[in-house]
Amino acid sequence: MPAFAATVGPRYRSAGGCLVRPRDPIETEPVPSVPSGQRTSQGSDRFGLRVAHVSDRGSKRTNNEDAVLVLRLIRDGGGGTVDSRLLAVADGMGGMERGEIASHLALTALSSYVADRFGDVPEDDVPGQIELLTNALAAVNERVHASQDPRSASKMGSTIVVAYTAGSALFVAHAGDSRCYLLRDGGIQRATRDDSLVQALIDAGQLTEAEAAVHPQRNRISKGIGLVPPDRFQPTVRHVGDVNDYDYVLLSSDGLHGVVKDDEIARAVYGSRNAASAAKALLALAIQAGAPDNVSVILARVVPGESAAKGTPPRATET
């Protein structure tokens, strides 16, 4: 797996991360916190994340236009150490190798932008964190849009979904139909709303969820990275709230949620021993359903600081 090195300034350092290339095997990435009992600047207990990720071309495609990013960023300053986690899935489009180029270009631009600037925003500044992600996605869109080939009749673009933690606060940003889910206390809820034709029809009361799942234009998105000039691009960014111990945060391309229902996703996650086995189970469900598209999953589980520091693997029964 190729290493991903974030842009590192004198006040920041990367604690490791990766940009996953097509056909990489699943890998568990432990992201331990500082020891339990230490606190963030906003007073919340430190926590850890156990992250598993996989990106597969599926059963019908000959290449993989998806990409995933898993990155931990740390700021060392006078107020103590602040660390953030940046997770993202991008689903490229454009045919041939252009979709693959777009998705990897998008995540490379995202990681560089956030790594350069995340330490300038106080951990408890919610509007500032939202502005950071809004500007980051705007920069990503501008980068991919500027890389369009004017001679090509088809546009190169990508969806994107981002989960970003600052302290215990979770922020989600997206454009397109890649999703973020929050799984908590045995339930599952979407933290994003698809930017798609069928979602607009659902919102208007003209389609049900079941009808949308088989609609001939279910893959048509209304917003994406690189498809419009910078002055017309508006990503969706929101503060979801604080994460709790044993929450799961799931990011996926539509290769998963396009063929696997939300309740099936929840059963696979809660029925698995840990994040890695859950991610494998989700990929298996997509393949069993035919996997007509590329399938990408990032699954992060929140664990208490002491468990993360000791490397204790979380169990689904703890949720």
Instruction: Look at residue 50 and tell me if it is in a domain.
Output: yes
Closest C-alpha to 34, from 86, 96, 82: 82
Is residue 73 included in any domain, yes or no? Answer: yes
Residue 204 lies in a domain: no
Neighbour order of strands in the sheet with 179-184: 27-31, 47-56, 295-304, 248-252, 179-184, 187-190
Domain annotation covers residue 67: yes
* 4 assigned to some structural domain: no
Residue 150 identity (one-letter amino acid): P
| Residues 6+ away with beta carbon under 8 Å from 121 | 128, 129, 131, 132, 166
Phi, psi of 38 (to 5 degrees): -75, 155
Residue 35 belongs to domain with CATH number: 3.60.40.10
pTM of the model: 0.83
The number of CA neighbours under 13 Å toward the Cβ of 173 is 26
Q: Is residue 41 part of a domain?
A: yes
The one-digit pLDDT tens for each residue of the chain (319 residues) are: 222 323 223 333 444 566 654 444 344 444 433 222 222 222 234 578 899 999 999 999 888 999 999 999 887 765 666 678 999 999 998 765 788 999 999 999 999 999 999 988 988 999 999 999 999 999 999 999 999 887 776 788 999 999 999 989 999 999 999 999 999 999 999 999 888 767 667 777 777 777 677 776 667 777 889 988 899 999 999 999 999 999 999 999 999 999 999 999 999 999 999 999 999 999 999 999 999 999 999 999 999 864 444 443 333 322 2
**Domain carrying residue 75:** 12-193+221-318
Query: Considering its fold, how many domains does the chain have in total?
Result: 1
Whether 296 is covered by a domain: the verdict is yes
Task: Say if 184 falls within a structural domain.
Answer: yes
